[in-house]
């Protein structure tokens, strides 16, 4: 069961404690581990997530569907805008933008990313970790793992 992307330090620690009695127990332990990681380790977990709007061959199977690539009709100009915003975000904060897409279109994510560019590095790091947990919780609810 993989609720999280290939997020090195988080998966290493979770793997050392497997098996979990349930997905909910794994999620709860993942939440505890994320809080205990160093900032550098947390950023490693954040950077394990694919970029919103990245090429379909660069995302995991779970992210492929979550980001809507299975039904994608995103205009090229929106993909270019996302690429530009992702680059700005990574330059400013030093890690990837992570958002719980929650079946929203890529067009709907553009203003979210624009707004998040106004945050501080610490706010964004904490937000990214919350978003990672929301993604994992949704995967568990959807029975995708």
**pLDDT given for residue 71 in this prediction:** 61
Contact residues for 39 (Cβ-Cβ < 8 A; gap 6+): 125
Query: Is 118 exposed, middle or buried, given 0-12, 13-18 or 19+ CB atoms closer than 10 A?
Result: exposed
For residue 97, the 8-state DSSP code is -
CATH of domain 8-142: 1.10.3330.10
Rounded to an integer, what distance in angstroms lies between the CA atom of residue 108 and that of residue 113?
9
Contact residues for 25 (Cβ-Cβ < 8 A; gap 6+): none
One digit per residue, pLDDT tens: the chain, 145 residues? Answer: 578 877 788 999 999 998 999 999 999 999 999 999 999 999 999 999 888 876 656 655 555 555 555 566 789 999 999 999 999 999 999 999 999 998 899 999 999 999 999 999 999 999 999 999 999 999 999 885 5
Domain boundaries, the chain: 8-142
């Amino acid at each position: 069961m993989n609720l999280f992307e290939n997020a090195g330090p988080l998966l290493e620690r979770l793997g050392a404690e497997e098996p979990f009695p349930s997905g909910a127990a794994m999620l709860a332990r993942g939440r505890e581990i994320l809080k205990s990681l160093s900032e550098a380790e947390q950023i490693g977990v954040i950077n394990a997530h694919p970029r919103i709007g990245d090429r379909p061959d660069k995302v995991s199977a779970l992210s492929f569907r979550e980001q809507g690539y299975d039904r994608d009709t995103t205009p090229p100009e929106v993909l270019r805008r996302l690429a530009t915003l992702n680059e700005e975000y990574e330059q400013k904060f030093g890690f990837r933008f992570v958002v719980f897409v929650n079946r929203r279109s890529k067009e709907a994510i553009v203003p979210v990313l624009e707004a998040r560019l106004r945050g501080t590095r610490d706010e964004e790091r904490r937000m990214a970790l919350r978003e990672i947990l929301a993604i994992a919780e949704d995967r568990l609810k959807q029975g995708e793992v």
